[in-house]
Amino acid sequence: MVKPRAVEQKFIRDVFSTILTKIFLVILKLGSSVLTARFLGATGRGEFFGVTQLAGIINTIGTLSIGEGLIYFLSTHKLKEKHCLATVLFFVIFFSIPIWGFILCLYSFTDFLFPADKKTDIFIIVCALIPLFMCEYLGSSVFKGLKRFKFANKISVFCRTVLLISIFFSLVMPESSVVVVLFAFVLAYLAIALIYLLLIGIYLGFSITVPIHKLKRILKYSVRVHPIIFISEIEYRLDVFVLIYFLDFASLGIYSIGVSFGQLVWYVSNSINNVAFPNLAETENLKKRLEFFQKIVRYNILLNCLIILLMMLSGYWLIYLIFGEQFQDAFGVFIILSFGFVFDTISRNMVTWFKSANNPNPVTLSTIMALILNVILNILLIPIFGLFGAAFASTISYIVRSCMIMYAYSQVTKTNIFTSLVPRRNDLIGIINLIKIYVFQKDSKLKREAT
């Protein structure tokens, strides 16, 4: 039997490993942002960002959060490892066809999403990205569900490196353009998709037997949690499309740098949630699960506040130095969004809690109300304040949603949200001690116990 202390130490080790990986991924992502911003300018950067965001949000909405179902069923041992490859391939085919139909409708009836001089090329690129994004999403979900976090992290870093190299070579070509870069992006993602499928087959088996009865249950679970995820995803990316509609791709390019610069906060939160979800799902004792979760949230808040403070102090000069003078307004976008990021990380933790308990309903209403508020605020504020209006709209909706989800959590768990989740002095000491253990390696005994 695994000791509770050993379980907690292993969880913390996995989180630290994932956070360090995410930091490296942020560097790689900022690298692609710098390249596209410097070589393509604000307008080109906006077009590149808009296309990838369009493919990303369509993929998220259209896949019905099936990756969450894979994580849940693998972490609770309800899906056999040998069925993973067939399951992933089935869902990729199953979801791609209707999503392509939806994209065709957008192409036929929505002009502002597709730059007029590149409309057909962009349509082909978005369609090609859908199954490729899906392979990466479902492939990473398989390894997270099996709690092979280090392995998943290594794959992710390797794939992002491939992506960055592909973007770099496409930008230095003599006839480089946004379309050329996007086609290079597609080719890189084709390689990434094949890598995930090949690794699943090598490590888990190349069986092509599709467990139909399991697929139905996975789909049923995913449909239950999907409203929270896809509504949240729309809220996160809605400002992108409203900006394109009211302003232009140059404004979107500047705004995207502010968002990308602040995404380190999201990466820390997602690192914790990725490791927490399968661990919480398999913990049956409610009291232990609550104590474990509350400590996670408090540590998350402290880490993100520290990151935001450091980025506020250094962000202006970093953006000016790395991206250039035309992107200076991106720092103002980041400052406004940073207040919302703190609250958003809490709501992300809460959503993980409800998903692990297979009880997403209490937060669905909060997410819908926040989305409606976000739509109204974007429409009202962007025409007046431009890209800063989009940042204000997102920040306000993040705060409102977080407060509503925290209230739902306190009602369901019968806990006082402030006494349970407000960081304490001991939490800061605990984080410092954990850094000493896992970064500076000063406690080999605990590391051996966790292993």
Distances from the Cα of 60 to the Cα of 57, 356, 442, angstroms: 5, 19, 42
Average pLDDT over residues 106-116: 82
Lowest mean pLDDT of 14-23, 85-94, 188-197, 213-222, name the range. 14-23
Per the prediction, the chain carries an average pLDDT of: 83
- Alpha-carbon distance of 196 to 75, in angstroms, equals 19
Check pLDDT > 90 for residue 61.
no
Residue 227 CA to residue 60 CA, distance in Å, equals 11
pLDDT tens for 225-245 read: 788 777 877 877 888 888 988
Domain that holds residue 280: 4-450
Sign of CA dihedral 300, 230, 103, 133: positive
Which amino acid appears at position 233 of this protein? Answer: E
pLDDT digits (tens, 9 = 90+) for 262-297: 776 777 777 777 666 666 656 666 677 777 778 778
Q: Which residue has the tokens 């972490």?
A: 75
Residues 401 and 58: their CA atoms lie apart, in Å, by 22
DSSP letters along 372-400, please? HHHHHHHHHHHHHHTHHHHHHHHHHHHHH
Bigger pLDDT: 435 or 330? 330
Q: How far is CA 316 from the centre of its chain?
A: 25
Q: How confident is the model at residue 302 (pLDDT cuts 50, 70, 90)?
A: confident
Q: What's the average model confidence in pLDDT over 188-216?
A: 93
Least Cα distance to 22 among 356, 269, 344 occurs for 269
Which three-class secondary structure state does DSSP give residue 282? coil
Identify the sign of the CA torsion 40, 45, 50, 53. Answer: positive
Alpha helical stretches, state H, 146-206 = 149-171, 178-204
Task: Identify the band that residue 6 occupies on the pLDDT scale cut at 50, 70 and 90.
Answer: low
Q: Which helix (H) or strand (E) holds 401?
A: helix 387-413
CA angle 127/128/134 to nearest 5° reads: 95
pLDDT value for 200: 96
Residue 383 banded pLDDT, cuts 50, 70, 90: very high
| Overall average pLDDT of the 220-226 stretch | 85
Residue 296: the pLDDT is 77
* pLDDT of 445: 46
DSSP for 405-433 reads HHHHHHHHHT--HHHHHS--HHHHHHHHH
CA dihedral 36, 40, 45, 46 (to 10 degrees): -170
Altogether, the residues listed in the chain come to a count of 451
Q: Which of 403, 409, 336 is nearest to 370 (CA)?
A: 403
Comparing 96-100, 113-117, 327-331, 406-410, the range with the smallest average pLDDT is 113-117
Residue 446 confidence (pLDDT): 43
* Residue burial 207-238, b: 16+ Cβ < 10 Å; e: rest: beeebeebbeebbebbebbbbbbbbbbbbbbb
135-140 mean pLDDT: 95
Q: Are 261 and 136 in contact (CB under 8 A)?
A: no
Q: How many domains does the chain have?
A: 1
Assess whether pLDDT exceeds 70 at residue 309. yes
Which residues contact residue 4 at a Cβ distance below 8 angstroms, ignoring those fewer than 6 apart? Answer: 288
More confident of the two residues 288 and 401: 401
Q: Tell me the mean pLDDT in the region 344-367.
A: 78
Concatenate the DSSP letters of all residues of 96-148 into one string: HHHHHHHHHHHHHH--TTS-GGGHHHHHHHHHHHHHHHHHHHHHHHHHHHTT-
Residue 34 tokens, joined = 């710098």
Give the other-Cβ count within 10 Å of 63's Cβ: 25
Average pLDDT for residues 142-157, to the nearest whole number?
A: 87
Q: Cα–Cα distance between 352 and 205 in angstroms, integer?
A: 30
Report the percentage of the chain scoring pLDDT > 70: 85
Q: With the CA atoms of 100, 47, 56 and 205 taken in that order, what torsion angle do they form, in degrees rounded to the nearest 10?
A: 80
Which residue, among 139, 14, 9, 20, has the nearest Cα to 71 in the 3D structure? 139
Q: Which of 7, 145, 15, 149 is nearest to 75 (CA)?
A: 145
Q: What Rg, from alpha-carbon coordinates, does the chain have?
A: 21
**Of the segments 24-33, 118-127, 289-298, which one has the largest average pLDDT value?**
118-127
User: pLDDT band at residue 102, thresholds of 50, 70 and 90?
Assistant: very high
